[in-house]
Amino acid sequence: MLTISRTLHDQIVAHARADHPDEACGVVAGPEGTGRPERFVPMLNAARSPTFYEFDSGDLLKLYREMDDRDEEPVIVYHSHTATEAYPSRTDVTYANEPGAHYVLVSTADTDGAGPFQFRSYRIVDGVITEEEVEVVG
């Protein structure tokens, strides 16, 4: 299960809405080994695409150096889908290279009648997608 603060949840959703119609992407870092998401790090979608996201390689290198210096790890890797449900695509699965991370998808399309966005979390390990419950606290 992913436990996330209301503040972080709202920051991720706001980033997804702000970047719409392009996909938004980013990371929430947390202290190594805790699984606790704490530091919101919105990233630039270098692809600037409504159907694909790509972290800028320079920004990603800088982020990993920062996390290393702060004894952090990526707890959440997030991005948005602008026209489809919040479910990992084949491309998303291919790029899921953090087996310990929660992969959060936010859909900014109302694909299920449930409202203007979906916020869902997955574990993706060795190509296997497992949806997990999300608890928003605070």
Query: Which pLDDT value is given to residue 25?
Result: 97
Q: Which residues of the chain have pLDDT under 50?
A: none
Q: What is the pLDDT of residues 103-122, one digit of tens each?
A: 999 998 865 555 668 999 99
> What does DSSP assign to residue 138?
-
The answer to whether the CB of 120 falls within 8 A of the CB of 87 is yes
Looking at residue 109, its pLDDT comes to 83
**pTM strictly above 0.75:** yes
Which residue type occupies 83?
Answer: A
Residue 113 is predicted with a pLDDT of: 58
